[in-house]
C-alpha cells in the first residue's frame, strides 16, 4: 500500500527529520506522534499516512496491523527567484520542494498457536 505526495513546498532536509521520526512505527503511533509534533511537515505526512491507510482499505488489508515500512523524501523541483541587492546586483533565492513516498505493510505476528 502506497501513497505519494509530490511537490510539497518545503525543503527535503527539513521533511526528512519528520519522516525519520515515524519510519518503522505502527500507523496509530505515528499519527499520535505527528499530531503533537511542532514541525510544519507533521500535518502533510499525517495526511499522507491517512491516504495510504485508505488505499490499504481498498485492498481489504487489516488496518490494525499496518506499520510504516518505508518513507522516502526526495528532492522536487526548485523554484528560482531573485532578490535585488545593492548597486544593481541580484541575489538568488531557491525555493525547494519535496517528493514524499510512503509505503505501508502488514505486520505479521510470529506467534504460532499451540496445537
Burial class (CB in 10 A: 0-12, 13-18, 19+), 66: buried
Question: Phi and psi dihedrals of 3, rounded to 5?
Answer: -150, 145
- Measure the CA–CA gap between 44 and 8, rounded to whole angstroms: 8
Give pLDDT, residue 37.
95
Query: Which pLDDT score is estimated for 62?
Result: 86
The pTM of the full predicted model, rounded to 2 decimals, is: 0.87
Domains of the chain are 2-106 (3.90.470.10)
Q: How far apart are CA 69 and CA 115, in angstroms?
A: 32
Tell me 103's DSSP state: E
What pLDDT sits at residue 43? 96
Nearest to 97 by CA among 79, 80, 76, 81: 76
pLDDT, one tens digit for every residue, the chain (115 residues): 899 999 999 999 999 999 999 999 999 999 999 999 999 999 999 999 999 999 999 988 888 899 999 999 999 999 999 999 999 999 999 999 999 999 999 987 665 555 5
Instruction: Go through 9-39 and write b for each residue having 16 or more CB atoms within 10 A of its CB, e for each that does not.
Output: ebbbeebbebbebbbeeebeebbeebeebee
Amino acid at each position: 500500500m502506497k501513497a505519494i505526495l509530490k511537490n510539497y513546498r518545503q525543503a527535503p532536509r527539513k521533511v526528512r527529520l519528520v519522516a525519520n521520526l515515524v519510519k518503522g512505527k505502527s500507523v496509530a503511533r505515528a499519527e499520535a506522534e505527528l499530531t503533537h509534533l511542532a514541525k510544519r511537515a507533521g500535518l502533510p505526512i499525517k495526511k499522507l499516512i491517512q491516504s495510504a491507510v485508505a488505499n490499504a482499505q481498498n485492498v481489504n488489508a487489516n488496518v490494525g496491523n499496518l506499520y510504516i515500512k518505508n518513507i522516502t523524501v526526495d528532492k522536487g523541483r526548485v523554484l528560482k527567484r531573485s532578490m535585488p541587492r545593492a548597486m544593481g546586483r541580484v541575489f538568488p533565492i531557491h525555493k525547494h520542494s519535496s517528493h514524499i513516498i510512503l509505503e505501508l505493510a502488514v505486520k505479521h505476528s510470529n506467534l504460532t498457536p499451540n496445537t
